[in-house]
């Protein structure tokens, strides 16, 4: 049996006609950038996340960059964030000449440890940038409280978390600005790159709309220096087919996660495999199902699973503070022990919505063969 980490074809099978119809409509219109589909998707995503505004852009990475620009983050400023994320989180900060100030993670959730944030804030801190890693929100009540008290805006990197939530609040609608990605492997994935910003603030929304078209105030009149980060019409048309299904896909991912919990328990593997921790009050959408393997056996397990035809991936093998390009920041090994341990001990297992029970049994059986 083969179990891929993600099976986009299985999802496409059920959407073929509708997707191709949407694509054909765009070709018939010959309008390929922004336009009515983008506008409609923005409204639909705003409604979905519970934010007042949503603004399309070219990628999740650009969303992070645009968010920080809209908050006037500049060279010499500091932004507090996690060392354990996809590169773009810290990359956006550094790209503006600002300094990523890392704070270690909570080993249970892999998200920014809210209790360590205060100590990292200085008079130069211009933003807090938590990441809702793997589909579970960072502790936004605590982080939002710190932001409000210290008057520092919060940018949510919600690239992996569209549809996740904290109590009744949705990912992307809790901070000053939320950033989403429509990269194909995200829960809501396009047919290429795409991204979106969300905010409850009218003036930030207007500024983001301007920044994504080179800081235009009106056509050919530029108030400030932005860049080109428009969302393609084709992406919006495809994403509008998928958005109404997103909740049922996320539910299916949660169901698969719950089934893994049973299967790993039944297999007697709870000592060997550390399962994802669901924080109380948080809705986890399982963009990834990440497990922890202790005693230095992670890489051997990855190797074994590949041999068995089970797709796995290590997110992320090198924490951001130890990336070559960030050497100038002066961090060293040992600075963030939990991020470093997560980088050594974790791997992702297939959890995509179309995964069958039989496939999950095979995955767990393959893990069991490794340990027993």
Ligand X SMILES: *Cc1c(COP(=O)(O)O)cnc(C)c1O
List contacts with ligand X (CB under 6 A).
59-61, 85-86, 88-89, 131, 157, 159-160, 181, 183, 193, 195
Nearer to ligand X, 159 or 173 (CB): 159
Helix-helix angle 36-49:233-242, to 10 degrees: 40
Count of beta carbons in the 10 Å neighbourhood of residue 83: 29
Question: Please, which residue, 91 or 226, has the CB nearer to ligand X?
Answer: 91
Nearer to ligand X, 153 or 273 (CB): 153
Find the shortest distance in angstroms from Cβ 4 to ligand X.
Answer: 19
In the complex, least distance from residue 265 CB atom to ligand X, rounded to whole angstroms = 29
Cβ atoms of 82 and 335 within 8 Å: the answer is no
Q: Strands, E, within the chain: which ranges?
A: 53-57, 78-81, 99-102, 125-129, 155-157, 165-166, 169-170, 177-181, 195-199, 216-218, 221-222, 273-274, 282-283, 289-293, 346-349
Spatial separation of the C-alpha atoms in residues 185 and 182, rounded to whole Å = 8
Output the smallest distance, CB 324 to ligand X, in A.
Answer: 19
| 87/371 with CB nearer ligand X | 87
Q: Which is nearer to ligand X, 59 or 360 (CB)?
A: 59
For the CB of residue 193, give the shortest distance to ligand X in the complex, in Å: 6
Handedness of CA 330, 138, 239, 360 (dihedral sign): positive
**Residue 64 Cβ, how far from ligand X at the closest point, in Å?**
6
- Cβ of residue 186: shortest distance to ligand X, in angstroms? 6
> For residues 8 and 267, which CB has a smaller minimum distance to ligand X in the complex?
8
Dihedral sign, CA of 29, 210, 67, 98? Answer: positive
Cα–Cα distance measured from residue 246 to residue 72, given in angstroms and rounded to the nearest whole number: 33
Instruction: Compare residues 183 and 362 and give the one whose CB is closer to ligand X.
Output: 183
| Distance in Å, CB of 10 to ligand X, minimum | 21
Is 216 exposed, middle or buried (CB count within 10 Å of its CB: 0-12, 13-18, 19+)?
A: middle
| Distant-in-sequence, close-in-space partners of 310: CB < 8 Å, separation ≥ 6 | 3, 349, 350, 362, 363, 366
| Residue whose beta carbon is closest to ligand X | 60
């Amino acid at each position: 049996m083969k179990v891929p980490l993600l099976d986009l074809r299985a999802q496409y099978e059920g959407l073929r006609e509708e997707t191709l119809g949407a694509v054909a409509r765009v070709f018939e219109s010959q309008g390929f950038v922004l336009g009515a589909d983008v506008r409609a998707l923005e409204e639909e995503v705003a409604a979905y996340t519970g934010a007042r505004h949503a603004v399309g852009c070219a990628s999740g990475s650009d969303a992070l960059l645009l968010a920080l620009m809209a908050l006037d983050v500049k060279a010499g400023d500091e932004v507090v964030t996690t060392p354990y994320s996809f590169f773009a989180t810290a990359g956006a900060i550094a790209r503006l000449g600002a300094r990523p100030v890392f704070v270690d993670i909570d080993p249970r959730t892999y998200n920014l440890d809210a209790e360590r944030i205060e100590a990292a804030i200085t008079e130069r801190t211009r933003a807090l940038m938590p990441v809702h890693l793997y589909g579970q929100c960072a502790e936004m009540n605590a982080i939002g409280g710190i932001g409000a008290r210290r008057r520092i805006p919060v940018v949510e990197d919600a690239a992996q978390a569209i549809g996740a939530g904290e109590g009744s609040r949705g990912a992307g609608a809790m901070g000053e600005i939320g950033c989403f990605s429509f990269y194909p492997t995200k829960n809501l994935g396009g047919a290429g790159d795409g991204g979106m910003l969300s905010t409850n603030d009218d003036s930030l929304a207007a500024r983001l709309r301007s920044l994504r078209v080179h800081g235009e105030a009106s056509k050919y009149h530029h108030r400030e220096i932005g860049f080109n980060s428009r969302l393609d019409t084709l992406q919006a048309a495809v994403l509008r087919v998928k958005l109404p299904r997103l909740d049922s896909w996320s539910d299916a991912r949660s169901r698969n996660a719950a089934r893994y919990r049973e299967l790993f328990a039944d297999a007697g593997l709870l000592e060997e495999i550390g399962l994802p921790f669901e924080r109380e009050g948080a809705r986890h959408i399982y963009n990834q199902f990440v497990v922890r393997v202790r005693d230095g056996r992670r890489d051997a397990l990855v190797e074994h699973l590949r041999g068995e035809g089970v797709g796995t991936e290590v997110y992320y093998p090198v924490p951001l503070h130890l990336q070559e390009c960030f050497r100038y920041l002066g961090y060293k090994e040992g600075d963030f022990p939990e991020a470093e341990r997560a980088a050594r001990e974790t791997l992702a297992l297939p959890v995509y919505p179309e995964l069958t029970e039989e496939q999950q049994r095979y995955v767990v059986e393959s893990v069991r063969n490794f340990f027993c």
